[in-house]
Amino acid sequence: MRKVAIVMGSTSDLPVMQQAIDVLRELDVPCFVDIVSAHRTPEKLAEFGQTAHEQGFDVIIAGAGGAAHLPGMLAAYSPLPVIGVPVKSSNSIDGWDSVLSILQMPGGVPVATVALDGAKNAGILAAQILGAADADLRHRIAEYKQALKNKVENGSTEVRKKFNG
């Protein structure tokens, strides 16, 4: 069974990261959630990064605010794909510090980066990565995207009726 690890720097990141948890649950993708701080628990970060693949994880989603070193450091330690979620936090410079810390990785240490507070997209991207080798999951993702399309089309119909008669 393929699974995703979702880690964040502190509990204050949970409201944002909950979006990834929710979409993975909706897509029936198992996920493990934990707090791993790059600055306050560096040993835990190193151990997790070095052993995540041995624990059966296939993708890591890492959310962090401020200097946001968590995703990059995990990518340095792990052979798994890492998706970084920059979080606009109380110690953030309007979120830009987090975005740039995750986005500007050196060659050889890639981190896929989603939008500021974009944990939902991180969850979808993780599912799509797993879905490349899992036809059932690919089908669930296709159904999820069809539901998004239907929601937009229904909204369009309602707006046209309301404003155009």
SS3 29: coil
Is 32 strand, coil or helix?
A: strand
Name 149's Cβ contacts closer than 8 Å, sequence gap at least 6: none
For 86, 89, 101, 147, the CA distances from 111, given in Å and listed in that order, are 11, 20, 10, 29
Distance CA 137, CA 86 (A): 26
Sorted by sequence, the CB contacts under 8 Å of residue 10 that are 6+ apart come out as: 35, 37
13 is in an annotated binding site: yes
Binding positions: 10, 13, 40
Binding positions for substrate: 10, 13, 40
